[in-house]
């Protein structure tokens, strides 16, 4: 039995949640994956996994062993990075994750500029509108919007994003301009995802739930922006998406004094011994530039 190979197979199965998913991740036959896990359990003389019809669960021994295996794999990866020179010159594949539209609008143009200045680095972009586990998905740097719950990550704050209550001038000409929450009765709304148009009372934590007629419900922020520009209702949209529309007058902000608190934006990465130069170079290069890009959106 190749013990190192069996360890890698076990981690793939645990990370993916089942033997079949692990085999797909490894591009290996399911019987081979199952056999290697079984051989590892026989070698250790203990059961590592509880197999069910749909997924797997770790035994107590399995949890301890997987934690140890992750440490071993981390040490091996660090040794390989040292041997390949990744601690001497920024080089190698850099894997980052960012939400779809925020990445498209702000992060990726900067990231591609970073690549032009670092020819020995390649970029793997994982775009997803949810937080991904950096360790599980082998991601070097994440760009996260909103409060951080995972204290095990190193976080560098680069700015904030406002959610702007906005509407087209044509809509206001038809329906009138709301000045206070009570003025919203009878108005139409464009709702983006789960972002409900609640209004914060200035100087307090009190919020008002706006009673609006939802004309459009969009899970895609670009679709919500287009609906608002077309005059279909009042929308609450992230500032980076509508900065040009606000500047051009295609959209105008209303009820600014009732806006919710901005969302923080962080670059995050996993705590480790010696940070690879590709990661350090990206964080150091991206931080001031993304900070400036977000500042440019604050005045919209």
DSSP string, 68-84: HHHHHHHHHHHHHHHHH
Q: Is the pTM of this model over 0.75?
A: no
Is pLDDT at 156 greater than 90 in this prediction? yes
Residues 229/231/235/240 CA torsion (nearest 10 deg): 10
Helices (H) then strands (E): counts for the chain:
10, 14
**Cβ 118 vs Cβ 283: under 8 Å:** no
State how far the Cα of 174 lies from the Cα of 51, in Å rounded to an integer: 62
What is the per-residue pLDDT for 250?
96
**7's tokens:** 């360890």
Q: Nearest 10 degrees: CA dihedral of 46, 34, 14, 43?
A: 30
- pLDDT score of 99 more than 80: yes
* CATH 1.10.10.10 residue spans of the chain: 3-84
Indicate whether 194 pLDDT > 60. no
Query: For position 101, what pLDDT does the model report?
Result: 92
Residue 183 DSSP one-character state: G
| Interval 170-191 mean pLDDT | 90
The proportion of the chain whose per-residue pLDDT surpasses 70, expressed as a percent, equals 89
Which carries the bigger pLDDT value, residue 80 or residue 233? 233
Q: What pLDDT is stored for residue 84 in this prediction?
A: 65
pLDDT over 90 percentage in the chain = 43
CATH 3.40.190.10 region(s) of the chain? 92-157+263-298, 163-258
Question: Within 10 Å of residue 215's Cβ, how many Cβ atoms?
Answer: 15
6 CB contacts (<8 Å, ≥6 apart)?
36, 37, 39, 40, 43
> For the residues 61-69, what does the mean pLDDT come to?
88
Which residue carries 């990550």 as its tokens? 153
pLDDT value of position 150: 67
3-84 is a CATH 1.10.10.10 domain: yes
Model confidence pLDDT, tens digit, residues 232-281: 999 999 999 999 999 999 999 998 888 888 999 999 998 876 788 899 99
Q: What residues form DSSP beta bridges with 94?
A: 123
Q: Is the pLDDT of residue 119 over 90?
A: yes
**Position 206 pLDDT exceeds 60:** no
Distance CA(267)–CA(155), nearest Å, equals: 6
Domain range 92-157+263-298, CATH architecture: 3-Layer(aba) Sandwich (3.40)
The contacts of residue 155 (CB under 8 Å, 6+ apart) are 148, 266, 267, 268
- For 163-258, which CATH superfamily applies? Periplasmic binding protein-like II (3.40.190.10)
């Amino acid at each position: 039995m190749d013990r190192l190979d069996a360890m890698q197979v076990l981690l793939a199965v645990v990370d993916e949640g089942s033997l079949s998913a692990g085999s797909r991740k490894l591009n290996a036959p399911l019987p081979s994956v199952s056999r290697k896990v079984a051989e590892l359990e026989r070698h250790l003389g203990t059961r590592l996994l509880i197999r069910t019809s749909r997924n797997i669960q770790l035994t107590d021994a399995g949890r301890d062993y997987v934690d140890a295996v992750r440490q071993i794999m981390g040490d091996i990866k660090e040794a390989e990075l040292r041997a390949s020179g990744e601690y001497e010159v920024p080089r190698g594949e850099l894997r980052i994750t960012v939400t779809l539209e925020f990445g498209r609008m702000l992060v990726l143009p900067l990231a591609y500029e970073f690549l032009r200045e670092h020819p020995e680095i390649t970029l793997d972009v994982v775009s997803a509108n949810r937080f991904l586990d950096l360790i599980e998905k082998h991601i070097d740097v994440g760009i996260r919007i909103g409060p951080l719950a995972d204290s095990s990550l190193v976080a560098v704050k680069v700015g904030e994003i406002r959610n702007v209550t906005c509407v087209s001038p044509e809509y206001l000409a038809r329906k009138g301009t709301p000045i206070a929450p009570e003025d919203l009765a009878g108005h139409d709304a464009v709702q983006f995802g789960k972002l409900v148009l609640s209004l914060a009372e200035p100087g307090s934590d009190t919020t008002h739930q706006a009673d609006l007629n939802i004309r459009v419900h969009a899970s895609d922020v670009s679709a919500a922006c287009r609906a608002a520009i077309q005059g279909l209702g009042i929308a609450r949209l992230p500032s980076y998406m509508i900065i040009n529309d606000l500047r051009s007058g295609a959209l105008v902000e209303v009820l600014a004094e009732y806006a919710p608190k901005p969302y923080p934006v962080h670059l995050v990465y996993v705590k480790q011994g010696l940070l690879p130069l590709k990661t350090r170079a990206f964080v150091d290069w991206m931080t001031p530039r993304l900070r400036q890009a977000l500042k440019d959106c604050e005045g919209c």
